């Protein structure tokens, strides 16, 4: 941005025309026209990362319709876009891509940071190891629209503010021509405002008369006092047990014990029953298994006639400070039953066999556990990090993970 002109082109025009009489006015008019065109034709880039993107889409929908402001032609390619609406959280992995996208856009380009995540990290400011705390740490932001997520109306307001900014931005004399054209030919807004004011005045006078008449008619009338809001009292209800399932936990456990006598129930708390027969339909079967039998047992559980655990729900891990627990949750679509298999691993260099040969779906779950806990799976076909960058130091879901450059600890 130079001393004059909204862009290089208008600057050059200014250099030539300024020398001639009346040239300054002409340049001002050209600048006004260009900035008018820019303000009224903001083509947004199709870019949305999280929840805010939905509200951005809602701003384009029939009810809110940002096309009214000329923000209609959403371009998928940054080369033709003028505006990035940073809708949603920006994480470290996305950061580079965002900068590239911004660089790929032709000048002049504008950025609206929509929602608290793009402004400051929002709900993910504390404790998170991957979120970039604000879009303005990467690219310059013109307008901030607060909210989580902001309403579409708020985004529209942000766009109008941006238009206002563009109309003035970089112009030598931003106020001059605007004053000339300040009163539009058809100012419906002011008209409506005046209308409303007149109506209100009329209503007020009518009310005043009515109040006086009422006072004359009822001289000892007292306005009732507003009631205090009573806080409702609610009963403490006991929880109703969930409907039973086709197969009972003890049958399951019995079937397992038959084949593997050295497994036992995972006893986790005071409320959890000690024996299997106490396990109602509410509680999940949580079985602790030795590491050597892990693969065999998963295979058995999947194929056994009585169990038929045919769907792998999840595979995850828990960091118990001194050891890890690998947790495999399986679901039977036949018996509507679900169970956990739990297998403990040593803290240093934890490793276990992969179950991708049994459940293909385990592949990504195992990659996730590898990424976040650092547990390796022997024989896994594609042991890479799944969420984080390859050069990310450490494994964030471990309890001893610390990285002061990334994590801001919650102060309370």
Partner 1 sequence: MDLQAVNNTLPEGFRSAFNYDETSEEYYLNMGPQHPSTHGVLRLVLKLNGESVIEVVPHLGYIHRGLEKVAENQTYLQNIHLTDRLDYLSSHINNLGYCLAIEQALGIGVPLRGEYIRVMICELQRIQSHLLWWGVCGMDLGAVTTFLYGFKERELITDIFEELCGARLTMNYFRPGGSFVDVPDTFIPRVRQVIEELKRALDEYNTLLTENIIFQERTRAIGILDSAKALSYGCTGSVLRASGVSYDVRKNDPYSIYDQFDFDVPIGTVGGSFDRYRLKMEEMVESIKILEQAVQSFPQGPHRSKERASYKLPKGSYYSQVETARGLLGTYIVAEGGPKPYRIKYRSPCFSNLHALNDMAVGHKIADVVTILATLDFVVPEIDR
Partner 2 sequence: MNPLQTNTLYPVQNSIGDMVREIFPASAVYINGFITIISLLMLVSLLPVFLIWLERKVAAHFQARLGPMRVGYHGLLQSTADGLKLIFKEILKPEGADTFVFFLAPILPATATFLVMTILPFDHHMQVADPAGGVIYVIGISGLSILGILLAGWASNNKYSLLGAMRSGAQMISFEISLALIMLLIVMVTGTASLREIVLSQQGTILDWWIFKLPVLGSIAFIMYMISSTAELNRAPFDISEAESELTGGFATEYSGISFAMFFFAEFVNMFVSAGIATTLFFGGFLAPQIGIGFLDSVLDFLPGFFWFFLKTFLIIFLYMWFRWTFPRLRVDQLMYLEWKMLLPANILLLMVGGVFLALGWIL
Q: Which residues bind partner 2 (CB under 8 A)?
A: 6-7, 9-10, 33-34, 36-38, 40-41, 61-62, 65, 67-70, 72-73, 75-77, 79-80, 82, 104, 106-108
The residues pairing with 326 across neighbouring beta strands, listed in sequence order, are 317, 343
> Quick count: other Cβ atoms within 10 Å of Cβ 30?
17
Give the span between the Cα atoms of 145 and 143, in whole angstroms: 7
State the nearest-atom distance from the C-beta of 275 to partner 1, in Å. 16
- Which positions from 18 through 77 interact with partner 1, judged by CB under 8 A? 45-51, 53-55, 57-58, 61-63, 76
The one-character DSSP state at 361 is: T
| Nearer Cβ to partner 1 (6/307) | 307
Applying CB under 8 A, the site for partner 1 has a residue count of 88
Residue 225 burial class via C-beta count within 10 angstroms: exposed 0-12, middle 13-18, buried 19 and up: exposed
Give the pair of three-digit tokens for residue 205.
């006078």
Q: Which partner from the list partner 1, partner 2, none does 72 bind, CB cut-off 5 to 8 Å by kind?
A: partner 2
Query: Do β-strands 351-353 and 376-378 pair in parallel, antiparallel, or remain unpaired?
Result: parallel
The span from the CA of 68 to the CA of 156, in Å, is 10
- Each residue 304-333 as x (binds partner 1 by CB under 8 A) or -, in order, gives ------xxxxx-x-xx-------x-x-x-x
* Piece of the chain touching partner 1 by CB under 8 A; list 5-13, 253-261, 291-299, 388-396: 388-396
Least Å from the CB of residue 243 to partner 1? 6
Q: Which does 53 bind (CB under 5 to 8 A by kind): partner 1, partner 2, none?
A: partner 1
Nearer to partner 2, 72 or 251 (CB): 72
Q: Which residue's CB is nearer to partner 2, number 78 or number 121?
A: 78
- Residue 299 as a binder of partner 1 (CB under 8 A): the answer is no
Q: Which residue in 245, 264, 323, 347 binds partner 1 (CB under 8 A)? A: 245
The two tokens of residue 306 are: 């009585």
105: CB partners within 8 A, 6+ apart: 45, 78, 79, 81, 82, 84
Which of 16, 37, 93, 164 is the binder for partner 1 (CB under 8 A)? 93
* Distance in angstroms (rounded) separating the CA atoms of residues 356 and 180: 73
Task: Give the residue, chosen from 187, 202, 292, 382, that forms a contact with partner 1 under the rule CB under 8 A.
Answer: 382
User: Any idea of the CA torsion for 47, 48, 54, 60, to the nearest 10 degrees?
Assistant: -20
Q: Candidates 36-44, 138-146, 262-270, 287-295 — which segment interacts with partner 1 by CB under 8 A?
A: 262-270
Residues between 167 and 206 that touch partner 1 (CB under 8 A): none
Question: For the purposes of burial, counting CB atoms within 10 Å of the CB of 324, is it exposed (0-12), middle (13-18) or buried (19 or more)?
Answer: buried
79 binds, among partner 2, partner 1, none (CB under 5 to 8 A by kind): partner 2
Total count of residues recorded for the chain:
412
Q: How far is CA 377 from CA 203, 351, 365, 371, in A?
A: 77, 6, 11, 11
Q: Is 103 in the site for partner 1 (CB under 8 A)?
A: no
Vertex 224 angle, CA 222 and 226, to 5°: 145
**Choice between 29 and 333, CB closer to partner 1:** 333
Beta carbon nearer to partner 1, 35 or 332: 332
Within residues 111-150, the interface with partner 1 by CB under 8 A covers: 123-124, 126-131, 148-149
């Amino acid at each position: 941005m130079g001393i004059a002109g909204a862009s290089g082109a208008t600057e050059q025009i200014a250099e030539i025309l300024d020398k001639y009489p009346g040239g300054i006015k002409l340049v001002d008019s050209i600048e006004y026209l260009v900035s008018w065109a820019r303000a009224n034709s903001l083509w947004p880039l199709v870019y949305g990362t999280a929840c805010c993107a939905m509200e951005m889409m809602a701003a384009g929908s029939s009810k809110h319709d940002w096309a009214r402001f000329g923000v209609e032609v959403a371009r998928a390619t940054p080369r033709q876009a003028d505006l990035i609406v940073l809708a949603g959280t920006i994480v470290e992995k996305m950061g580079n891509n965002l900068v590239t996208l911004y660089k790929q856009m032709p000048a002049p380009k504008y950025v609206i940071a929509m929602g608290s995540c793009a402004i400051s990290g929002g709900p993910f400011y504390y404790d998170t190891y991957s979120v970039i705390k604000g879009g303005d740490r990467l690219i310059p932001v013109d307008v901030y629209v607060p909210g989580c997520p902001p309403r579409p109306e708020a985004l529209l307001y942000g766009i109008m503010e941006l238009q206002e900014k563009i109309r003035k931005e970089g112009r030598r004399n931003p106020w001059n021509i605007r004053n000339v054209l300040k009163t539009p030919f058809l100012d419906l807004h002011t008209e409506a405002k005046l209308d409303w004011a007149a109506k209100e005045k009329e209503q007020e006078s009518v009310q005043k008369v009515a109040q006086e008449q009422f006072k004359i008619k009822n001289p000892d009338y007292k306005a009732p006092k507003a009631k205090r809001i009573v806080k409702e009292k609610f009963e403490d209800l006991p929880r109703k047990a969930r409907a039973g399932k086709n197969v009972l936990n003890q049958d399951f456990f019995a079937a397992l014990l038959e084949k593997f006598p050295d497994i036992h129930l995972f006893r986790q708390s005071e409320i959890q029953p000690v024996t299997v027969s106490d396990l109602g339909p509410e509680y999940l079967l949580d079985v602790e298994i030795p590491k050597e039998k892990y693969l065999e047992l998963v295979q058995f559980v999947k194929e056994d006639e009585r169990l038929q655990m045919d769907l792998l729900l999840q595979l995850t891990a828990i960091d118990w400070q001194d050891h890890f627990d690998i947790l495999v949750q399986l679901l039977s679509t036949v018996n509507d039953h679900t169970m956990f298999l739990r297998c403990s691993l040593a803290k240093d260099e934890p490793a276990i066999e992969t179950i991708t040969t049994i459940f293909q779906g385990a592949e990504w779950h195992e990659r996730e556990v590898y990424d976040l806990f650092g547990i390796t799976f022997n024989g896994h076909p594609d042991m890479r990090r799944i969420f984080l960058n390859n050069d990310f130091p450490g494994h964030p879901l471990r309890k001893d993970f610390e990285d002061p450059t990334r994590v801001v600890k919650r102060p309370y």
